[in-house]
């Protein structure tokens, strides 16, 4: 088992939390792990990305070479485009279709989504809308949509959410669990 994952988005979207949950689940499954993350110049709204490599064999580098990522998980559609050169030919993109417009010249959304749809395996959907329905954040919905491609089981990620967010209380844990289940169901059915 080997998965090279690029997680990307904008500051404040919870990409770092998603990386932490996947990392926790992988470590609890006794997998090897390497991670590298970059936070944008501004804490909220700046570009954020993480290279996350998990495998059942030792990993020697924490950065994913161009053309080698199995998954791009993006909380923002334009950010998914920024990292497409890293995607392997048979890789998949999971992205929120709802933009975070923080620049004047944000590209036309039809053009952005047309580029995303060129990727053979893509799950592009309004994660914000699903998150509102379950009273959670969209990053957890996106995490759930990634599970069918991840090589980890839903139950393993649920256990990680309980470990990581347990100190924040049952309501936080339950909303995050509802969100990943909703994202997982969306990806399985679409």
Range 19-32 average pLDDT: 96
Helix (H) or strand (E) holding 74: strand 69-74
Q: Residues 98-121: pLDDT tens digits? A: 888 777 888 888 998 999 999 999
The mean pLDDT value of the chain amounts to: 91
Q: Residues 148-175: pLDDT tens digits? A: 999 999 999 999 999 999 999 999 999 9
Q: How far is CA 12 from CA 45, 46, 123, in A?
A: 7, 9, 22
Q: Residues 121-139: pLDDT tens digits? A: 999 999 999 999 999 999 9
3-state secondary structure of 148: helix
Model confidence at 50: pLDDT above 60: yes
The two tokens of residue 67 are 């053309």
Strands 2-10 and 32-38, bridge-based pairing: unpaired
Confidence at residue 103, expressed as pLDDT on a 0 to 100 scale: 74
Whole-angstrom distance, CA of residue 60 vs CA of residue 78: 30
Strands 32-38 and 87-96, bridge-based pairing: unpaired
Range 28-43 average pLDDT: 78
3-state secondary structure of 105: coil
């Amino acid at each position: 088992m080997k998965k090279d994952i690029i997680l990307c988005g904008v500051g404040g979207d919870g990409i770092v939390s998603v990386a932490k949950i996947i990392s926790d689940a992988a470590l609890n499954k006794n997998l090897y792990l390497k991670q590298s993350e970059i936070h944008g110049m501004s804490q909220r709204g700046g570009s954020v990305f993480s290279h996350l490599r998990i495998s059942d064999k030792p990993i020697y580098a924490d950065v994913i070479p161009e053309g080698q990522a199995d998954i791009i998980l993006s909380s923002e559609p334009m950010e998914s485009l920024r990292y497409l050169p890293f995607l392997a030919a048979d890789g998949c993109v999971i992205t929120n279709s709802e933009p975070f417009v923080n620049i004047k010249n944000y590209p036309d959304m039809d053009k952005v989504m047309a580029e995303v749809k060129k990727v053979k395996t893509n799950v592009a959907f309004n994660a914000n809308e699903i998150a509102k329905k379950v009273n959670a954040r969209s990053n957890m919905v996106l995490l759930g949509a990634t599970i069918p491609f991840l090589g980890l089981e839903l139950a393993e990620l649920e256990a990680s959410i309980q470990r990581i967010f347990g100190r924040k209380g049952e309501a936080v844990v339950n909303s995050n669990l509802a969100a990943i289940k909703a994202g997982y169901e969306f990806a399985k059915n679409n």
